[in-house]
Chains A and B, each alone.
Chain A
């Protein structure tokens, strides 16, 4: 079984890179980018992730718009929102747009991995 490829999109790059490093230690292939443009560039460069961990509040293109862009690019990519600015409403809106799950920062790594695996298995 090949390792899941994880793309972390978060304007807090320090958070993204640290989380990517932790996921890699657990056998995932992870990459952190700072926003929607870099994420779309990675996708265009044929770096196709299985699961995207997406922040909601980002400068420029926000998380829900980025979700739409990713789903337009490849609807099979599963997206988990991982945000510090979450709300029930934004979670439900995301679900309606094809979001796989919605988690609030800071998240327990164990819980996150369970959700990533569930998403990756879909």
Chain B
């Protein structure tokens, strides 16, 4: 008949736990590793997931913040430039509305006005008046452009058609990048339009744009719809250089999108500046390029690393500890099983031994009595020829009976300590029972037993028969030690809340120290005479029985004075909480 194999875990990691091919050490190593991996997974996976989510969430937050910063900075820069232009436009409007073409064509007056305007409007390079024919009639500024013809210039025509016009940046006659703010007015007499023009250099724009610069700002510049830079750029070049803008906003919206420069990304905000031909472009540092992001990553990695180290260390320790505890528990279980098996075997052997001893005792008794009767009869019959020879033979027969009796009694003693049944026991009662059994022998030898038994002694939990055996052995030993004429003192008392003790003292010859230290060893005997030869097992068995019952046996002796055995047992409490009462 084939046996079903033991179920083996489907997971190769755990198969070692039930694998019978592995040695016990290998199985616990496998268990330890399995526990290690499971606990690492249980602790570190959630930690990693939480950290990952935290990482993504914070990155998202920083991106949103960078975009918001880009929008806010773009609006701020746009407002600064718009405010400057509006203020200049307002001043030019006041001048053109206040003075006529003839007034302003007067060089001195224009110069006076230019000086006043320059005080208020930094970056103003020159101021000029251009007549309806496009010829510059008056000019105040560093370039000496009086009389120049602007009739073919785009800005002149734009200015004529609009009341106020801001030009793109161009180089013009002066060959220097600048832009103009021009206002036109209709002459009431000729009914032709003339123009008052102010030129501003691009450095003024650069200065205003620089006001928006922050730590996280990468670049800010102006560009026109044709892709010509209108101001200097940190990365794109100087004014009038070409620049390719991929996306443009509709009307006054601020368009924000992500761009790459090398390996790092940034946010580009693009916005039109109203009433100008310019687009403001602002490049804001990307979230990943910010110091705060690097700092966060470093702290997150450090925290995560520290957590991994601490948790990993604890898990390693815990898995070793648990595997160790499992091993201890298994070993303890194996020991208990082995002891139980051993006890069962011994109990079986004990029962068998008892049965054999009992069955042998009866025929042995018949042999003994028959031989004894024959000895008796030979004692009466003096004339029998072979009387002496028969008496010798019968003496040998009786010796053999005594030897066999010693063996059967030893077997019975062995059997008696095999079976265990725990009950609640009053020590005084057991002592009285055992004494009732031994008092005949004591009286026969003129040995006085003096009792000092404390009343209301707490109960103990022990095997009744084994406890009788313990006291029987010790008191028997005392009787044997005294032989004839002496005293045995038996005292019982409660030692403390946890223990009760019985002291058995005899007035025998005492035991020498070198013998005393071996007295509980198996097969150690001091009973030398043939009649009462000891097996050397009595006190060893007693010691084992007392220990088995949770007790303790101690002996003290003085040669010439006597010997005292002190046996202590734990008090039994039904409710274990009384232990500490």
| A interface, CB within 8 angstroms of B | 12, 14-15, 18-19, 21-22, 25-26, 57, 83-89, 91-92, 95-96, 100-102, 104-109, 114-115, 118
Contacts and interface: CB of A to CB of B under 8 A. Distances in A.
B534 interface: no
B369 A18 contact: yes
Contacts of A19: 369
Nearest to A57: B358
Interface in B342-388: 357-362, 364-370, 372-373, 376-377, 380
A114 B416 contact: no
A72 B128 CA distance: 157
B436 A95 contact: yes
Nearest to A87: B416
Given A57-B358, A100-B440, 19 more contacts: A12-B365, A12-B366, A15-B365, A84-B359, A88-B468, A88-B469, A89-B464, A92-B436, A92-B437, A95-B437, A96-B436, A104-B409, A105-B362, A105-B365, A106-B369, A107-B365, A108-B402, A109-B372, A118-B444
Given A19-B369, A25-B376, A84 B362 contact: yes
B369 A15 contact: yes
B532 to A, nearest CB: 12
A74 B576 CA distance: 50
Q: Return the 3 tightest CB-CB contacts between A and B, nearest first.
A: A84-B361, A105-B365, A106-B368
B568 to A, nearest CB: 22
A106 B437 contact: no
A8 to B, nearest CB: 10
B472 interface: yes
Contacts, number: 92
A91 B435 CA distance: 12
Category for how many chain B residues contact A: 35 or more
25 contacts: A12-B366, A18-B366, A18-B369, A18-B370, A19-B369, A25-B376, A26-B376, A86-B412, A87-B465, A88-B437, A88-B465, A89-B464, A91-B437, A92-B433, A95-B436, A96-B433, A102-B437, A105-B361, A105-B364, A106-B367, A106-B369, A106-B405, A114-B444, A118-B440, A118-B444
Contacts of A25: 373, 376-377, 380
Interface of B: 357-362, 364-370, 372-373, 376-377, 380, 401-402, 404-405, 408-409, 412, 416, 433-434, 436-437, 440, 444, 464-465, 468-469, 472
A25 to B, nearest CB: 5
A106 B361 contact: yes
Contacts of B372: 18, 22, 109
Contacts of A92: 433-434, 436-437, 468
Contacts of B444: 114, 118
A85 B404 CA distance: 15
A83 B404 CA distance: 15
Among B366, B408, B434, B436, find the residue whose CB has the most chain A CB atoms closer than 10 A.
B366
Given A14-B366, A92-B433, A85 B401 contact: no
A83 B440 CA distance: 18
A15 B366 CA distance: 5
B18 to A, nearest CB: 47
A83 B409 CA distance: 12
A31 B401 CA distance: 24
Contacts of A114: 444
